[in-house]
Structure 1
Amino acid sequence: MLNSTQVSVIHLSAYLEMGPLRYVFFVLVLLFYGMVVGANMLLIVAIALERRLHAPMYLFLANLFVNELLGGTGLLPFLLLQLLSDSHTVALPLCFLQVFVVYSYVCAEFCNLAVMSYDRYLAICCPLQYRHRMTGRTVCGLVAFTWAYSFGAIGILIALAAPLRLCGDTINKVYCMNFSIVKLSCDDVRANNTYGLLLTFLTTLCPLALVLYTYLKILQVCFRGSQHMRQKALSTCTPHLASLLNFCLGVCLEILGSRFQVGSQEPLVQILLSVYFLTCQLLFTPLMYGLHLSKVRLVLRGLLLCSAVNTGP
């Protein structure tokens, strides 16, 4: 056991010995990070510049893309540094900072997806009331709630974990996770575990319950509506459902890997489970919305054509 006053850095033991291959993985992660930043920024700029996209649905989308940038920045630059490092250590305050950024991203992702399902519910099930109920003030309030809840809830999580006396300094991860750090503590962590379970319930099950309710209502309206209504609902809801299912898959894999030690005997499997949890959405979301929604696709095509003309000979 280590004395708690001696723990100033956290050792990440999940990194495998890669030799020269580390530079190959470094380039791959760097390219992936560049694509994540480029794709999400392009869509944010498109929504900001095009007045036709200044509708609640697309403003919520822009908020979602901002969150993907937050998640990517909380993980990928850290992985790049660790791939070039021989020690695979991180200072404890920086470890908690990464926990704050990554966990805030997860909370905001679930909140954003729930808000977007509510927006689709109003647009499809209550079209005559949509403009009255989804006003600019409502949009700003929902966006503000998403970030306030995410930062506030994770701030409390960090406030509970930071004072703990640590009797170990090694976690079997490639990045910092709150549950892994708490397990190193030699203090009573019942408050941490209780709050962690409550936060998991509020952050995952409540938004998923809202999504389930809204989509059941949407399905009822679509079955009673015309073919045109069904096609319109399908075109706007498919990317949202695909994004939600993909993210839930990543979360389930991470919970299985962390809580129940799935893949603990296979380091590579454990690494893939952890990394997929955070990277699954970063590029999937902008590709789904950028390619599937016709209005977004047309605006992107116009921006790219204008850029090509301006940079041409």
Structure 2
Amino acid sequence: MDNETILTITMSVYAVMENYKYWLFILFLLLYLTIIFLNVLLITVVHQNKKLHQPMNVFSCVLSINEIYGSTALLPTIMAVLLSERHEITVKWCIAQIYFLHTYASAEFCILAAMGYDRYVAICNPLQYHSIISNSKTGKLALLAAMYPAIVFGGFYSMTIRLRFCGKVLPKMYCVNMELVKNSCSPAPYISIVGLVLILLLVLPQILLILFSYAQISRVCRKLPRESQRNALKTCVPHLLSLTNFTIASLFEIIQSRFNMTHIAIEARIFLSLYFIILPPITNPVLYGLGTQMVRVNLLKLFVRYKMLPTLLAKAVAVASV
């Protein structure tokens, strides 16, 4: 059975939504458009104002690009499968989706680690901040966050591509590597072991960097006056909330992929799967947009400018007609 075989996603997953699939399609479409709008809006606001070209804002834009990448790789396919009669996806696209999913998730952790390092330098070494986190280093860290997952996961991904598949059932709303491997014609236990090692390579260094950063921030903050502590920690709130949100979503996804979850209601499993690809991409631009004063101010200016534009055009037309 070659990789052109059609894999059928388990009907039970979509059967729960069958009677409401058109309403759910509209809901998913609105959520997807919201993700695109919010993330593009944040990128636009930061791009248009040079005062916002600070490392943390640049990282937040890179994070938004990754949110758009991950959501676009998964949500349109989910909507298409939802409306289809047989709920099928080709093996070739399924494997591609696995690559998109894992590189999106690991790039997210890489970017969050870079943002944690930025907060560490800003709070613990404020006088050397611009020399340590220079524009050049910011660009290199952003490039590393994109390239590291692509390279590390690429080797593991090549193992999955070589497998031949006999099964046709995936008990998920989208493709994940371990579920696809279970459908291979011959057992491949080494892939499970390599997968665990891969997770450690893609997540552990970033988590250690984040823990180190906040341990140092905590150490320095204890020596500061109370007001300075509040101001320092306030700058970390968007990052901590974003990190917590994505970590919880990732744990849900890893647990579902590695353990038998059939004893849990299918509605709950669907929610946990959607949480991973919908909640972080929606909440992150809100956290970094509304959570940063300069971004809030420039966002307001942007809305005022475009709100006033129709009025100015109307006045121009009126003057021209006179």
TM-score, normalized by the shorter chain, greater than 0.5: yes
What residue is the counterpart of 2:275 in the other structure? 276
1:98 maps to 97
Displacement of 1:292 in angstroms is: 1.4
Deviation at 1:226, TM superposition (A): 2.5
In structure 1, distance between residues paired with 2:80 and 2:294: 39
2:234 maps to what in 1?
235
Q: Which moved more, 1:46-55 or 1:12-21?
A: 12-21
Would you identify which runs of 4 or more consecutive aligned residues in structure 1 move more than 4 Å? Answer: none
Deviation at 1:41, TM superposition (A): 0.2
Which residues in structure 2 correspond to 1:1-313 (within 5 Å)? 4-5=1-2, 8-13=5-10, 14-312=13-311, 313=314
The CA deviation at 1:17 is 4.7
Q: CA deviation at 1:104?
A: 0.9
Contact 2:31–2:278 (CA under 8 A) maintained in structure 1: no
Is 238-247 or 190-199 further displaced after alignment?
190-199
DSSP-derived class of the 2:162 partner: coil
Aligned residues of 1:10 and 1:92 also touching (Cα < 8 A): yes
**What RMSD in Å do the two structures reach over aligned CA positions?**
1.6
Q: Alpha-carbon deviation of 1:157?
A: 2.4
- Change in Cα spacing, 1:227 to 1:171, as seen in structure 2 (3 Å) is same
Counterpart-to-counterpart distance in 1, 2:18 and 2:188: 38
User: How many pairs were matched up?
Assistant: 310
Deviations 1:111-166 (A, max 9, x none): 00000000110111011221111112211111111111121122222211011121
Q: Residue type matched to 1:35 in 2?
A: T
Q: 2: CA distance between counterparts of 1:221 and 1:17?
A: 52
Amino acid at match of 1:10: L
Structure 1: stretches of 5+ with no match in the other structure: none
TM-score, normalized by length of structure 1?
Answer: 0.94
What TM-score results when the alignment is normalised by the length of structure 2? 0.92
Q: Secondary structure at the match of 2:137?
A: helix
1:6–1:121 CA distance, 2 compared to 1 (3 A):
closer
Q: Distance in 2 between matches of 1:98 and 1:226?
A: 50
Using the TM superposition, give the Cα deviation of residue 177 of structure 1 relative to its aligned residue in structure 2, in angstroms: 0.8
Counterpart for residue 318 of structure 2: none
Task: Output the amino acid matched with 1:15.
Answer: Y
Give the distance between the partners of 1:23 and 1:64, measured in 2 at CA.
31
User: 2 CA distance for matches of 1:125 and 1:17?
Assistant: 51
Q: 1:51 to 1:265 in 2, by over 3 A?
A: closer
How far does residue 203 in structure 1 lie from its aligned partner after superposition?
1.8
